[in-house]
Amino acid sequence: MANDLATGVAETQRTTLAVEPAGNASPTPAPGAGRLVSLDTFRGFIMFWIAAGGGAVVLRLLALKPNALTNFFILEFNHSLWAGLHFWDCIWPSFMLMVGISIPLSFAKRSHNQTYPEMLKHAVIRFAIIFLLSSLRSSISDGHPEWIELSGVLQPIAVAYLVAFLLVRKPEWVQAAAGGTILAANALIMAFASAPGVRAGSYLETSNIIRYLDLQVLGRTYHFGNTFGEGGTVLCIWFPIPITILGMLIGEWLMSARSKESKVKLIAGAGLLCLAAGYALSLVVPVIFKLVTASFVLVSAGWACLMFLLFYWVIDVRGYRRWTLPLVVIGCNSIFIYIFPSFVPLGHLVSIFTNHAIAASEQLEPLLRDVTVLVVQWLILYWMYRRKIFVKV
Protein backbone atom coordinates (compact mmCIF):
# COMPACT_ATOMS: atom_id res chain seq x y z
CA MET A 1 0.00 0.00 0.00
CA ALA A 2 2.40 8.35 -0.03
CA ASN A 3 1.09 8.73 2.15
CA ASP A 4 -0.42 6.28 -0.08
CA LEU A 5 -1.09 3.33 1.60
CA ALA A 6 1.25 5.74 2.64
CA THR A 7 -0.17 8.23 4.98
CA GLY A 8 2.52 6.31 6.76
CA VAL A 9 5.15 6.92 4.16
CA ALA A 10 5.21 10.67 3.92
CA GLU A 11 3.62 13.38 5.93
CA THR A 12 2.39 16.85 5.36
CA GLN A 13 0.87 19.01 8.06
CA ARG A 14 -2.47 17.97 9.55
CA THR A 15 -4.31 21.09 10.64
CA THR A 16 -7.83 22.02 11.60
CA LEU A 17 -10.79 21.41 9.36
CA ALA A 18 -11.16 24.36 7.02
CA VAL A 19 -13.73 25.49 4.47
CA GLU A 20 -12.20 26.89 1.32
CA PRO A 21 -14.19 28.50 -1.50
CA ALA A 22 -12.73 27.65 -4.90
CA GLY A 23 -13.75 29.74 -7.88
CA ASN A 24 -17.33 29.07 -8.84
CA ALA A 25 -17.30 25.70 -7.16
CA SER A 26 -18.91 24.94 -3.86
CA PRO A 27 -16.74 25.10 -0.75
CA THR A 28 -15.60 21.86 0.76
CA PRO A 29 -14.09 20.60 3.99
CA ALA A 30 -10.34 20.24 3.61
CA PRO A 31 -7.89 18.70 6.04
CA GLY A 32 -5.56 21.67 6.04
CA ALA A 33 -4.78 24.94 4.38
CA GLY A 34 -2.36 24.67 1.49
CA ARG A 35 -2.68 20.88 1.26
CA LEU A 36 -3.05 19.02 -1.99
CA VAL A 37 -6.64 17.94 -1.52
CA SER A 38 -6.33 15.94 -4.74
CA LEU A 39 -3.58 13.80 -3.20
CA ASP A 40 -5.63 13.02 -0.08
CA THR A 41 -8.64 12.26 -2.28
CA PHE A 42 -6.71 10.06 -4.69
CA ARG A 43 -5.20 8.19 -1.76
CA GLY A 44 -8.68 7.71 -0.34
CA PHE A 45 -9.95 6.51 -3.72
CA ILE A 46 -7.25 3.85 -3.92
CA MET A 47 -7.67 2.77 -0.30
CA PHE A 48 -11.45 2.61 -0.72
CA TRP A 49 -11.09 -0.33 -3.07
CA ILE A 50 -8.59 -2.50 -1.24
CA ALA A 51 -8.69 -1.65 2.46
CA ALA A 52 -12.00 0.05 3.20
CA GLY A 53 -13.89 -2.78 1.48
CA GLY A 54 -15.23 -0.99 -1.59
CA GLY A 55 -13.81 -3.59 -3.96
CA ALA A 56 -15.53 -6.44 -2.11
CA VAL A 57 -18.87 -4.62 -2.17
CA VAL A 58 -18.64 -3.89 -5.89
CA LEU A 59 -17.74 -7.50 -6.69
CA ARG A 60 -20.73 -8.71 -4.63
CA LEU A 61 -23.03 -6.34 -6.51
CA LEU A 62 -21.66 -7.37 -9.91
CA ALA A 63 -22.14 -11.03 -9.06
CA LEU A 64 -25.89 -10.48 -8.51
CA LYS A 65 -26.52 -10.00 -12.25
CA PRO A 66 -23.89 -11.91 -14.24
CA ASN A 67 -23.66 -10.88 -17.88
CA ALA A 68 -20.99 -9.84 -20.35
CA LEU A 69 -20.68 -6.32 -18.90
CA THR A 70 -20.56 -7.34 -15.24
CA ASN A 71 -18.09 -10.12 -16.07
CA PHE A 72 -15.84 -7.53 -17.72
CA PHE A 73 -15.83 -5.40 -14.57
CA ILE A 74 -15.30 -8.45 -12.36
CA LEU A 75 -12.13 -9.16 -14.35
CA GLU A 76 -11.01 -5.55 -13.90
CA PHE A 77 -11.42 -5.89 -10.13
CA ASN A 78 -9.07 -8.87 -10.04
CA HIS A 79 -5.40 -9.19 -10.89
CA SER A 80 -4.42 -10.40 -14.33
CA LEU A 81 -3.83 -14.12 -14.33
CA TRP A 82 -0.55 -13.53 -16.16
CA ALA A 83 0.03 -11.24 -19.15
CA GLY A 84 -2.17 -8.16 -19.56
CA LEU A 85 -3.28 -5.30 -17.35
CA HIS A 86 -6.41 -4.86 -15.25
CA PHE A 87 -7.51 -1.89 -13.13
CA TRP A 88 -6.65 -3.91 -10.00
CA ASP A 89 -3.05 -4.23 -11.22
CA CYS A 90 -2.73 -0.43 -11.08
CA ILE A 91 -3.69 -0.12 -7.42
CA TRP A 92 -0.26 -0.90 -6.01
CA PRO A 93 1.64 1.28 -8.55
CA SER A 94 -0.66 4.12 -7.52
CA PHE A 95 0.65 3.68 -3.96
CA MET A 96 4.18 3.96 -5.25
CA LEU A 97 3.37 7.10 -7.22
CA MET A 98 1.77 8.79 -4.22
CA VAL A 99 4.74 7.88 -2.01
CA GLY A 100 6.93 9.72 -4.48
CA ILE A 101 4.66 12.76 -4.74
CA SER A 102 4.65 13.12 -0.96
CA ILE A 103 8.43 12.97 -0.48
CA PRO A 104 9.40 16.45 -1.77
CA LEU A 105 6.38 17.98 -0.02
CA SER A 106 7.41 16.43 3.28
CA PHE A 107 11.09 17.26 2.72
CA ALA A 108 10.33 20.92 2.04
CA LYS A 109 8.22 21.21 5.20
CA ARG A 110 10.77 19.47 7.42
CA SER A 111 13.69 21.45 6.02
CA HIS A 112 12.39 24.56 7.80
CA ASN A 113 13.25 23.18 11.24
CA GLN A 114 15.41 20.09 10.71
CA THR A 115 18.87 19.44 9.32
CA TYR A 116 19.42 16.87 6.60
CA PRO A 117 20.98 14.33 9.03
CA GLU A 118 17.90 14.66 11.22
CA MET A 119 15.62 14.11 8.25
CA LEU A 120 17.71 11.15 7.09
CA LYS A 121 17.44 9.60 10.54
CA HIS A 122 13.67 10.10 10.45
CA ALA A 123 13.51 8.50 6.99
CA VAL A 124 15.48 5.44 8.12
CA ILE A 125 13.27 5.03 11.20
CA ARG A 126 10.18 5.38 9.02
CA PHE A 127 11.55 2.76 6.63
CA ALA A 128 12.11 0.36 9.53
CA ILE A 129 8.64 0.92 11.00
CA ILE A 130 6.88 0.40 7.67
CA PHE A 131 8.98 -2.70 7.01
CA LEU A 132 8.14 -4.15 10.43
CA LEU A 133 4.46 -3.26 10.10
CA SER A 134 4.41 -5.42 6.99
CA SER A 135 6.09 -8.22 8.96
CA LEU A 136 3.52 -7.90 11.74
CA ARG A 137 0.59 -7.89 9.32
CA SER A 138 1.92 -10.95 7.49
CA SER A 139 2.70 -12.77 10.74
CA ILE A 140 -0.88 -12.28 11.93
CA SER A 141 -2.22 -13.51 8.59
CA ASP A 142 0.09 -16.55 8.47
CA GLY A 143 -0.20 -17.47 12.13
CA HIS A 144 3.58 -17.59 12.53
CA PRO A 145 6.44 -15.03 12.40
CA GLU A 146 7.19 -13.58 8.96
CA TRP A 147 10.03 -11.11 9.32
CA ILE A 148 10.73 -10.78 5.62
CA GLU A 149 7.56 -10.70 3.52
CA LEU A 150 8.68 -9.45 0.14
CA SER A 151 5.38 -10.38 -1.48
CA GLY A 152 3.53 -7.88 0.68
CA VAL A 153 2.65 -4.28 -0.17
CA LEU A 154 4.42 -2.36 2.57
CA GLN A 155 7.97 -3.71 2.38
CA PRO A 156 8.51 -2.78 -1.30
CA ILE A 157 7.01 0.63 -0.50
CA ALA A 158 9.45 1.01 2.41
CA VAL A 159 12.41 0.22 0.14
CA ALA A 160 11.22 2.56 -2.61
CA TYR A 161 10.58 5.33 -0.09
CA LEU A 162 14.10 5.16 1.34
CA VAL A 163 15.75 5.04 -2.09
CA ALA A 164 13.68 7.99 -3.30
CA PHE A 165 14.43 9.98 -0.14
CA LEU A 166 18.17 9.53 -0.78
CA LEU A 167 17.60 11.11 -4.20
CA VAL A 168 15.34 13.97 -3.10
CA ARG A 169 18.14 16.59 -3.03
CA LYS A 170 19.51 15.56 -6.40
CA PRO A 171 18.70 17.42 -9.65
CA GLU A 172 15.68 16.16 -11.55
CA TRP A 173 17.85 14.74 -14.33
CA VAL A 174 19.75 12.62 -11.78
CA GLN A 175 16.48 11.34 -10.34
CA ALA A 176 15.16 10.53 -13.81
CA ALA A 177 18.44 8.83 -14.73
CA ALA A 178 18.28 6.68 -11.59
CA GLY A 179 14.76 5.59 -12.45
CA GLY A 180 15.73 4.90 -16.03
CA THR A 181 18.75 2.85 -14.94
CA ILE A 182 16.63 0.62 -12.71
CA LEU A 183 14.08 0.23 -15.49
CA ALA A 184 16.80 -0.68 -18.00
CA ALA A 185 18.30 -3.17 -15.53
CA ASN A 186 14.84 -4.72 -15.19
CA ALA A 187 14.51 -5.19 -18.95
CA LEU A 188 18.09 -6.44 -19.42
CA ILE A 189 17.92 -8.98 -16.58
CA MET A 190 14.67 -10.42 -17.90
CA ALA A 191 15.93 -10.44 -21.49
CA PHE A 192 19.45 -11.85 -21.07
CA ALA A 193 19.74 -13.64 -17.72
CA SER A 194 19.47 -17.41 -17.95
CA ALA A 195 19.67 -20.26 -15.46
CA PRO A 196 19.42 -24.06 -15.44
CA GLY A 197 16.07 -24.83 -17.01
CA VAL A 198 15.38 -21.15 -17.73
CA ARG A 199 16.28 -19.68 -21.09
CA ALA A 200 17.09 -15.99 -21.45
CA GLY A 201 14.07 -13.90 -22.28
CA SER A 202 11.54 -16.38 -20.94
CA TYR A 203 8.37 -14.89 -19.49
CA LEU A 204 6.56 -18.17 -18.91
CA GLU A 205 4.85 -18.54 -15.55
CA THR A 206 6.69 -21.77 -14.78
CA SER A 207 10.04 -20.77 -16.27
CA ASN A 208 11.50 -17.31 -15.72
CA ILE A 209 14.50 -15.83 -13.93
CA ILE A 210 12.33 -14.24 -11.20
CA ARG A 211 10.88 -17.61 -10.21
CA TYR A 212 14.29 -19.28 -10.38
CA LEU A 213 15.95 -16.77 -8.05
CA ASP A 214 13.09 -16.96 -5.56
CA LEU A 215 13.47 -20.74 -5.40
CA GLN A 216 17.23 -20.50 -5.00
CA VAL A 217 17.33 -17.68 -2.44
CA LEU A 218 14.02 -17.97 -0.59
CA GLY A 219 13.19 -21.63 -1.09
CA ARG A 220 9.77 -20.90 -2.54
CA THR A 221 8.18 -18.69 -5.14
CA TYR A 222 6.97 -15.23 -4.39
CA HIS A 223 5.13 -13.05 -6.84
CA PHE A 224 2.55 -10.33 -7.12
CA GLY A 225 -0.90 -11.63 -6.34
CA ASN A 226 0.14 -13.96 -3.53
CA THR A 227 -2.46 -14.74 -0.88
CA PHE A 228 -1.07 -12.14 1.53
CA GLY A 229 0.00 -9.37 -0.76
CA GLU A 230 0.67 -7.96 -4.18
CA GLY A 231 4.33 -7.04 -4.17
CA GLY A 232 7.84 -8.06 -4.73
CA THR A 233 10.47 -10.77 -4.81
CA VAL A 234 14.26 -10.78 -4.54
CA LEU A 235 14.42 -8.85 -7.81
CA CYS A 236 10.93 -7.40 -8.04
CA ILE A 237 11.23 -5.44 -4.81
CA TRP A 238 13.58 -3.08 -6.69
CA PHE A 239 11.76 -2.84 -10.02
CA PRO A 240 8.86 -0.52 -8.97
CA ILE A 241 11.25 2.17 -7.65
CA PRO A 242 11.03 4.12 -10.96
CA ILE A 243 7.31 4.66 -10.30
CA THR A 244 8.16 6.28 -6.96
CA ILE A 245 10.81 8.42 -8.64
CA LEU A 246 8.25 9.53 -11.22
CA GLY A 247 5.97 10.50 -8.34
CA MET A 248 8.82 12.46 -6.77
CA LEU A 249 9.30 14.39 -10.00
CA ILE A 250 5.57 15.15 -10.09
CA GLY A 251 5.75 16.35 -6.48
CA GLU A 252 8.59 18.71 -7.41
CA TRP A 253 6.63 20.03 -10.39
CA LEU A 254 3.63 20.66 -8.15
CA MET A 255 5.83 22.64 -5.73
CA SER A 256 7.35 24.74 -8.51
CA ALA A 257 6.29 28.24 -9.53
CA ARG A 258 4.82 26.94 -12.78
CA SER A 259 1.21 27.72 -13.53
CA LYS A 260 -1.37 25.04 -12.80
CA GLU A 261 -1.99 24.69 -16.53
CA SER A 262 1.70 24.03 -17.09
CA LYS A 263 1.72 21.45 -14.29
CA VAL A 264 -1.26 19.69 -15.86
CA LYS A 265 0.56 19.51 -19.20
CA LEU A 266 3.72 18.14 -17.57
CA ILE A 267 1.87 15.43 -15.66
CA ALA A 268 -0.22 14.53 -18.71
CA GLY A 269 2.90 14.38 -20.87
CA ALA A 270 4.67 12.12 -18.37
CA GLY A 271 1.66 9.78 -18.15
CA LEU A 272 1.18 9.57 -21.91
CA LEU A 273 4.91 9.08 -22.51
CA CYS A 274 4.96 6.18 -20.04
CA LEU A 275 1.93 4.61 -21.72
CA ALA A 276 3.38 4.98 -25.22
CA ALA A 277 6.78 3.60 -24.17
CA GLY A 278 5.22 0.77 -22.16
CA TYR A 279 2.83 -0.41 -24.85
CA ALA A 280 5.58 -0.17 -27.46
CA LEU A 281 7.90 -2.22 -25.25
CA SER A 282 5.12 -4.75 -24.65
CA LEU A 283 5.57 -5.95 -28.22
CA VAL A 284 8.83 -7.49 -26.98
CA VAL A 285 8.45 -7.59 -23.20
CA PRO A 286 4.92 -8.60 -22.13
CA VAL A 287 3.05 -6.59 -19.51
CA ILE A 288 3.12 -8.96 -16.53
CA PHE A 289 2.13 -7.66 -13.12
CA LYS A 290 3.42 -10.72 -11.24
CA LEU A 291 6.92 -10.31 -12.67
CA VAL A 292 6.95 -6.50 -12.57
CA THR A 293 8.27 -6.41 -16.13
CA ALA A 294 9.62 -3.12 -17.48
CA SER A 295 6.57 -2.75 -19.73
CA PHE A 296 4.29 -3.25 -16.72
CA VAL A 297 6.18 -0.59 -14.75
CA LEU A 298 5.79 1.91 -17.59
CA VAL A 299 2.15 1.16 -18.43
CA SER A 300 0.94 1.02 -14.82
CA ALA A 301 2.90 4.19 -13.98
CA GLY A 302 1.27 5.90 -16.95
CA TRP A 303 -2.24 4.98 -15.87
CA ALA A 304 -1.53 5.87 -12.23
CA CYS A 305 -0.16 9.22 -13.38
CA LEU A 306 -3.26 9.98 -15.47
CA MET A 307 -5.59 8.91 -12.66
CA PHE A 308 -3.87 11.30 -10.27
CA LEU A 309 -3.98 14.02 -12.95
CA LEU A 310 -7.76 13.66 -13.19
CA PHE A 311 -8.10 14.22 -9.43
CA TYR A 312 -5.64 17.14 -9.51
CA TRP A 313 -7.39 18.83 -12.43
CA VAL A 314 -10.91 18.47 -11.00
CA ILE A 315 -10.04 19.31 -7.38
CA ASP A 316 -7.02 21.61 -7.27
CA VAL A 317 -7.26 23.23 -10.70
CA ARG A 318 -11.00 23.50 -11.28
CA GLY A 319 -11.75 23.75 -7.56
CA TYR A 320 -14.59 21.23 -7.28
CA ARG A 321 -14.03 19.90 -3.76
CA ARG A 322 -17.34 19.44 -2.00
CA TRP A 323 -17.61 15.81 -3.10
CA THR A 324 -14.14 14.86 -1.80
CA LEU A 325 -14.87 14.50 1.93
CA PRO A 326 -15.85 10.77 1.91
CA LEU A 327 -12.56 9.89 0.19
CA VAL A 328 -10.42 12.41 2.11
CA VAL A 329 -11.60 10.80 5.35
CA ILE A 330 -10.13 7.50 4.12
CA GLY A 331 -7.01 9.02 2.58
CA CYS A 332 -6.00 10.91 5.72
CA ASN A 333 -5.76 7.65 7.70
CA SER A 334 -4.73 5.19 5.02
CA ILE A 335 -2.07 3.42 7.08
CA PHE A 336 -4.61 2.86 9.85
CA ILE A 337 -7.29 1.41 7.58
CA TYR A 338 -4.75 -0.84 5.91
CA ILE A 339 -3.53 -2.33 9.19
CA PHE A 340 -6.79 -2.21 11.17
CA PRO A 341 -8.42 -5.36 9.67
CA SER A 342 -5.38 -7.42 10.69
CA PHE A 343 -6.05 -6.65 14.36
CA VAL A 344 -9.85 -6.41 14.38
CA PRO A 345 -11.73 -9.16 12.47
CA LEU A 346 -14.59 -6.81 11.71
CA GLY A 347 -16.01 -9.05 9.00
CA HIS A 348 -16.33 -11.95 11.42
CA LEU A 349 -17.92 -9.76 14.09
CA VAL A 350 -20.40 -8.29 11.64
CA SER A 351 -21.32 -11.71 10.21
CA ILE A 352 -22.63 -12.75 13.65
CA PHE A 353 -25.49 -10.33 13.05
CA THR A 354 -25.86 -10.48 9.26
CA ASN A 355 -26.11 -14.28 9.31
CA HIS A 356 -29.30 -13.90 11.31
CA ALA A 357 -30.59 -10.89 9.40
CA ILE A 358 -30.56 -12.74 6.07
CA ALA A 359 -30.85 -16.49 6.51
CA ALA A 360 -28.97 -18.88 4.25
CA SER A 361 -28.45 -16.57 1.27
CA GLU A 362 -25.24 -17.23 -0.65
CA GLN A 363 -25.28 -13.74 -2.17
CA LEU A 364 -27.27 -11.34 -0.01
CA GLU A 365 -25.68 -12.19 3.35
CA PRO A 366 -22.09 -11.64 2.13
CA LEU A 367 -23.21 -8.43 0.42
CA LEU A 368 -24.89 -7.14 3.58
CA ARG A 369 -21.81 -8.10 5.60
CA ASP A 370 -19.40 -6.31 3.27
CA VAL A 371 -21.58 -3.20 3.06
CA THR A 372 -21.83 -3.11 6.85
CA VAL A 373 -18.07 -3.50 7.25
CA LEU A 374 -17.51 -0.68 4.76
CA VAL A 375 -19.91 1.63 6.59
CA VAL A 376 -18.51 0.81 10.05
CA GLN A 377 -14.92 1.35 8.90
CA TRP A 378 -15.80 4.67 7.28
CA LEU A 379 -17.59 5.86 10.41
CA ILE A 380 -14.52 4.99 12.48
CA LEU A 381 -12.34 6.96 10.06
CA TYR A 382 -14.77 9.89 10.09
CA TRP A 383 -14.73 9.95 13.89
CA MET A 384 -10.92 10.04 13.80
CA TYR A 385 -10.94 12.72 11.12
CA ARG A 386 -13.27 14.99 13.06
CA ARG A 387 -11.04 14.67 16.12
CA LYS A 388 -7.86 15.19 14.08
CA ILE A 389 -6.53 11.72 14.93
CA PHE A 390 -4.16 10.80 12.12
CA VAL A 391 -2.08 7.63 12.43
CA LYS A 392 1.36 8.17 10.93
CA VAL A 393 4.72 6.47 11.21
**How many domains, the chain?**
1
- % of the chain beyond a pLDDT of 70: 81
Over residues 46-86, the pLDDT tens digits come to: 999 887 678 888 888 888 888 889 889 999 988 888 899 99
Q: At what angle do helices 54-64 and 68-76 cross, to 10 degrees?
A: 160
Number of residues written out for the chain: 393
The three-class DSSP label of residue 14 is coil
> In this model, does residue 151 exceed pLDDT 60?
no
137 pLDDT higher than 70: yes
Give the β-pairing of 18-22 and 25-30.
antiparallel
What range does the domain containing 148 cover?
A: 5-386
- 103-129 exposure pattern, b = at least 16 Cβ within 10 A, e = fewer: bbbbbeebeeeeeeeebeeebeebbeb
Q: Note the pLDDT of residue 27.
A: 37
Please indicate, yes or no, if residue 90 is contained in any of the structural domains: yes
Rounded CA separation 293/301 (Å): 12
Under a CB-based contact definition with an 8 Å cutoff, are residues 245 and 178 in contact?
yes
In a domain, residue 94? The reply is yes
List C-alpha distances in Å: 156 to 20, 78, 124, 234, 284: 36, 21, 14, 10, 26
pLDDT (average), residues 88-101: 92
Q: Would 392 be classed as within a structural domain?
A: no
Strand partners, 20: 28
> Does residue 126 fall inside a structural domain?
yes
The closest alpha carbon to 95, from 160, 30, 142, belongs to: 160
Task: Identify the pLDDT of residue 237.
Answer: 81
H helix runs in the chain, sequence order: 37-50, 54-64, 68-76, 91-110, 116-142, 154-167, 172-192, 209-217, 241-255, 260-281, 294-311, 325-331, 334-343, 346-357, 364-386
More confident site: 119 or 148: 119
H or E element, residue 30: strand 25-30
391 within a domain of the structure (yes/no): no
Residues 175/269, Cβ–Cβ less than 8 Å: no
Confidence band (pLDDT; 50, 70, 90) for 384?
A: very high
Tens-place pLDDT, residues 237-292: 888 899 999 999 999 999 999 999 999 999 999 999 999 999 999 999 999 998 88
